[in-house]
């Protein structure tokens, strides 16, 4: 018999709404799975089973009373520790915030819970959510359930690890430079970075975001099926007046030409042969689904966008970022900032202003390109998933990691939606994947292309650490 915890969110919600299974039974199964596998991966760092079961019972009570509990009825989800969830500490992986208890939900949490989702726990992130690796002094080390020696990714490493291991059907993540897409890739699942303004965000426990965060950071779902990404996005994309930049754009747009561009080595990226082959195979699957796929040599700027991203991040109170990291004493956070010291110290108001202006031009170039090609297939990273803590081994390895992550760092400058799609595992368990980009607010197009590829390959398996 199929275990309830292993079912996709779409199946769980349908079964709960049809009263074929209770939300409490689903929650009990999910909690049992967490108890079985979380000690080996430390993906969920705070759980309150009694609250989980009470939330599930409320879903069942709503159904018994003839009320609609929402599209995520009874679906177990996880929440990242860098967003406010009432009654929980918004730690962001740092000891200084271990007692920073939220009084109200972040809009994305409010949206998920209002849609009938049941939170089974909060997931780990690196200190300050800075890295593509996942450990900190407060919550400890999160491991990849596919291969313990590989990073689970970051900063939503806990979400990626938990979802891959069957702890929850949908994981909440955030992404400013790959923090949804890279953990999904590294853990062998799927992750969607929505368009800027699609999912409302606001943490009452902290200050408003700086410019870089305002124009590049988003929340989105991680899941084991494309349809679950779609369901998670629909639940998350609810309006909230606390986020003035939320945009009232329909989740489904006008029909577009089924035409895609395939770029194996954008801006000269030294893409691993295994990832090139994954892209070529994905393109063939898309062609089989009736899409035209053209292999091209060049895309609008990505490498240049990396410099824009870093300028808008480090050019805004870099000394303050360093001071906070020094107070925390987290090795990963300190290394992440130290590696950019010379660059950050070269920045002034002129460079910051120029970067903000150039960001508009880069976004325009991408917008025009997407008119011709509604979908772009490109590498998620130049390399296979990194060895765990590779960025801490040497200055050369730090540089190697940041260079390999060009498509993770650069694409958020455009404001476009992008997702990483798992395309299978190598013989040694190393995940493979591709990245898919679509036009602004056309997550539906990216999801349609991803779904066409997914339908022509083996399904994502659940990892047993």
Active site residues: 80, 155, 179
Phi, psi (degrees; rounded to nearest 5) at 308 = -65, -45
Residues 167/78, Cβ–Cβ less than 8 Å: yes
Tally of CB atoms within 10 A around 394: 10
**Residue pointed to by tokens 């945009």:** 247
C-alpha–C-alpha distance, residues 268 and 274, integer Å: 17
> With the C-alpha atoms ordered 275, 273, 391, 363, is the resulting torsion angle positive or negative?
negative
- Which strand ranges, in their side-by-side order, compose the sheet holding 259-262? 44-46, 118-123, 76-80, 170-175, 218-223, 190-193, 418-425, 431-438, 375-378, 259-262, 292-295
The H-assigned helical ranges of 177-271 are 181-187, 211-216, 226-236
Return all residues near 453 (Cβ < 8 A) that are at least 6 apart.
282, 285, 286, 289, 421, 423, 434
C-alpha–C-alpha distance, residues 292 and 304, integer Å: 28
C-alpha–C-alpha distance, residues 128 and 333, integer Å: 7
Burial class (CB in 10 A: 0-12, 13-18, 19+), 267: middle
E strand or H helix at 45: strand 44-46
> With the C-alpha atoms ordered 234, 239, 240, 245, is the resulting torsion angle positive or negative?
positive
**Residue pointed to by tokens 């309830």:** 4
Report the SS3 class of residue 416: coil
Q: Which of 405, 440, 437, 402 is nearest to 421 (CA)?
A: 437
Q: Alpha carbon 118 to chain centroid distance?
A: 19
């Amino acid at each position: 018999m199929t275990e309830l915890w292993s079912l996709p969110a779409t199946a769980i919600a349908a079964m709960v709404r049809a009263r074929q299974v209770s939300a409490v039974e689903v929650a009990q199964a999910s909690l049992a799975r967490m108890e079985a596998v979380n000690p080996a991966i430390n993906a969920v760092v705070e759980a309150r089973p009694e609250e989980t079961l009470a939330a599930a019972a409320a879903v069942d009570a709503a159904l018994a009373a003839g009320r609609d509990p929402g599209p995520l009825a009874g679906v177990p989800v996880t929440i990242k520790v860098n967003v406010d969830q009432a009654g929980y500490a918004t730690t962001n992986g740092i000891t200084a915030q271990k007692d920073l208890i939220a009084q109200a939900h972040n809009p994305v949490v409010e949206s998920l819970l209002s849609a009938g989702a049941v939170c089974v726990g909060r997931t780990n992130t690196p200190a300050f959510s800075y890295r593509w690796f996942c450990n900190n002094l407060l919550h400890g080390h999160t491991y990849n359930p596919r291969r313990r020696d590989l990073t689970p990714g970051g900063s939503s490493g806990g979400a990626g690890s938990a979802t891959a291991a069957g702890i929850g059907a949908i994981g909440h993540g955030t992404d400013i430079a790959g923090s949804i897409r890279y953990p999904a890739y590294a853990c062998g699942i799927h992750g969607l970075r929505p368009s800027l303004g699609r999912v409302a965000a606001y943490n009452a426990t902290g200050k408003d975001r700086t410019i870089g965060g305002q124009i590049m950071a988003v929340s989105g779902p991680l899941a084991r099926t494309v349809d679950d990404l779609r369901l998670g996005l629909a639940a998350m994309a609810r309006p909230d007046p606390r986020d003035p930049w939320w945009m009232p754009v329909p989740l489904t747009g006008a029909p577009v030409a089924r035409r895609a561009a395939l770029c194996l080595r954008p801006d000269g990226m030294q893409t691993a042969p295994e990832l090139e082959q994954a892209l070529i195979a994905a393109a063939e699957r898309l062609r089989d689904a009736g899409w035209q796929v053209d292999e091209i040599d060049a895309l609008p700027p990505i490498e240049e966008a990396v410099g824009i991203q870093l300028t808008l991040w480090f050019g805004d109170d870099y000394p303050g970022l360093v001071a906070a990291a020094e107070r925390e004493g987290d090795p990963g956070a300190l290394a992440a900032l130290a590696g950019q010291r010379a660059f950050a110290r070269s920045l002034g108001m002129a460079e910051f202003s120029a970067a903000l202006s150039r960001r508009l031009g880069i976004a325009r170039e991408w917008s025009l390109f997407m008119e011709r090609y509604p979908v772009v297939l490109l590498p998620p990273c130049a390399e296979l998933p990194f060895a765990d803590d590779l960025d801490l081994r040497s200055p050369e390895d730090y540089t190697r990691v940041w260079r390999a992550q060009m498509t993770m760092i650069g694409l958020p400058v455009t404001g476009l939606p992008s997702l990483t799609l798992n395309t299978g595992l190598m013989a040694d368990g190393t995940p493979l994947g591709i990245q898919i980009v679509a036009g602004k607010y056309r997550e539906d197009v990216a999801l349609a292309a991803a779904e066409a590829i997914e339908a022509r390959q083996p399904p994502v398996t659940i990892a047993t650490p």
